[in-house]
Amino acid sequence: MLAVVEMLSVEDRATILAAMSTWRNAFLAEGRVISDGDHELCLVPKLDVWLKAGQWRQAEMPFYSVLGQMSAPADEIVEINPPKQGLPGNNRGLIGRDAEGKLWLLRTGAIQVPGGVRNLESLEAQPDLQVQVRLSNGNSKTYYKVACLEGSSAEIVRQTKDFVARAAKLRERPAPDPLQEQISRLPGTAFYRLNIRPQGIDKVLEVVDEDQIAIGWSEAATLVSPEVQESEFRDILHAAYGDRVHPGKSAGEMQRFLRRMKIGDVVLVPHSSGVYVGRVLSDPVYYPELVDHDTAFRRNVAWLKGGKPYEKASFTDDTVASLNARGTCITLEKHRDAILDVIYSDWQALSVILDAEVNGTGITSPSYSLIQARPEQIYFRQRLMEMYGERCCLTGTTIVDILQAAHISPHHMGGPRVNHPENGLLLRADIHGLFDRKLLSVDPQTMTICLAPSIAECPEYAFLHGKKVHLHAHGSRLGQHFDEAQRSWKTLWPDVSTS
């Protein structure tokens, strides 16, 4: 099970300075200090640890705190430098406050080693050392405990020594290949930055609201076909656009979106000062009706943080530079570590839902849902569970195992918003079957349940006929379902009133 948020970040200057002074003073009390004027080197031989600190008294300068082991005095193993105030930004250190009000020195798990970066998560798991920290901007990040700052000087130094020793273990193996083995989290998952600005027009918010990502070049419809070879992309784009686009550059962008990107990958969509982060749920789909909108090529995604953006300031400067770079669809592989430091806890929370087994999730449907990729249907159901409070929106049933996600407009004809929660109802399994077969519908004018004549005579369902309900469904889609149900009832029972 995922850890809950255990600490809150401390971001006011006075508390951070006091906490860091407590930490440094613990080393001064337990060790021997050598000063060169700019820095203090504190040696603690009995615990095989040293701390080099500087710049603390210079208000405009960041903390400088580096630690190593006495057994290797020349090796700087890890730096632990919180910001002097505000959000952590590029800093990997942080002061946190636990539920009891105690202050802790914390650090992310990304450790610089010769030739690259390794993460503490690649070592034997010690979940008691990990905490989730909620930042003031609403984001949550995973940190490791360095030391509780409420204990004795000896205990603070001992806990810090244990953290340094753990970080030192990352140096015992060969340095990682920066592209292939930089980090053990999410192996096989690729990272992309996607600008949704076809022809320079910002389409981010409307596409994100539909739980999708999109790319332009919509006139080159045949590119979506798996029969088309990547070597043909350039010619197809040139045939569709002529000199209006650069066919070589455009081909590269489309190859990444249509062929390189895969289900399960991470996509970051920048917008203003924020970044939407999602998990890709589907292969590319082409919607001819969106050619004029120039967002016909789309993929379904599940957004982290419930569809709310992360602040760009949460990421490192190098990552932000790539997020702001020109181009449409680019890889962010070199920023894996920095991105995961920000999103990992939210990614895990979403994955618990999307990677759940079918058994017990209530997603099995007698009709349309079976033609979807399973993660899409699970995410669709989760959105409806949140929208309707884990309750059947027609009967009020709260038995989670028999609640299913029903599409109002069926998946095969629902268009780009087919998996939007406004195209869904959370229904008890048997009610879902009636709804799909149009033996039950909802009058969008009166918001009352209507039953087919044969069903209205059944004692177990008769009480539903005429019942008023409150739904969050799209009116026109609900109206189309109701009209189709009415027509079928008149055909099957011409002599019976369906009003």
Q: How many Cα neighbours within 13 Å face the side chain of 158?
A: 5
Give backbone dihedrals phi and psi of 364, rounded to 5 degrees, phi first.
-65, 130
User: Which tokens sit at 174?
Assistant: 């060969």
> What number of residues does the chain have?
499
Confidence of residue 235 (pLDDT cuts 50, 70, 90): very high
Range in 60-69, 264-273, 300-309 the model is least confident about? 60-69
Q: Is the pLDDT assigned to residue 492 strictly greater than 80?
A: no
Round to whole Å and give the CA distance between 280 and 411: 18
Range in 148-152, 176-180, 276-280, 318-322 the model is least confident about? 176-180
**Entry pTM:** 0.55
Pick the CATH number of 184-357 from 2.60.40, 3.10.590, 3.40.1130, 3.20.20: 3.10.590
The string of DSSP codes covering 87-112 is --TT--EEEEEETTS-EEEEE-SEEE
Q: What is the pLDDT of residue 174?
A: 55
Domain ranges of the chain: 6-173, 184-357, 375-492
pLDDT tens per residue, range 442-473: 999 999 999 999 899 899 999 999 999 999 99
Give backbone dihedrals phi and psi of 443, rounded to 5 degrees, phi first.
-75, 115
Round to whole Å and give the CA distance between 34 and 370: 70
Q: In a 10 Å sphere around its CB, with 0-12 CB exposed, 13-18 middle and 19+ buried, how is residue 413 labelled?
A: exposed
Q: Give bridge partners of residue 126 from the DSSP assignment.
A: none
Quick one: what percent of the chain has pLDDT higher than 90?
59
How, if at all, do strands 212-215 and 297-303 pair?
antiparallel
Nearest CA-CA partner of 478 in 444, 427, 446, 451? 444
Q: What is the pLDDT of residue 178?
A: 46
Query: Mean pLDDT over all residues of the chain?
Result: 86
Confidence of residue 172 (pLDDT cuts 50, 70, 90): confident
Range in 32-36, 170-174, 271-275, 433-437 the model is least confident about? 170-174
User: Which tokens sit at 450?
Assistant: 């209507």
* Integer angstrom CA distances of residue 367 from 89, 388, 487: 48, 22, 20
Q: Is the pLDDT assigned to residue 366 strictly greater than 80?
A: no
Round to whole Å and give the CA distance between 249 and 441: 50
pLDDT: which is higher, 264 or 39: 264
Q: What is the pLDDT of residue 181?
A: 41
pLDDT tens per residue, range 19-33: 999 999 999 999 998
User: Which tokens sit at 15?
Assistant: 């508390």
Round to whole Å and give the CA distance between 478 and 40: 71
* Integer angstrom CA distances of residue 423 from 60, 132, 407: 53, 34, 6
Mean pLDDT for 254-258 is 96
The three-point CA angle 51-53-59 to 5° equals 155
CB 276 within 8 A of CB 269: yes
Confidence of residue 363 (pLDDT cuts 50, 70, 90): very low
Nearest CA-CA partner of 167 in 245, 244, 107? 107
Q: What is the pLDDT of residue 495?
A: 64
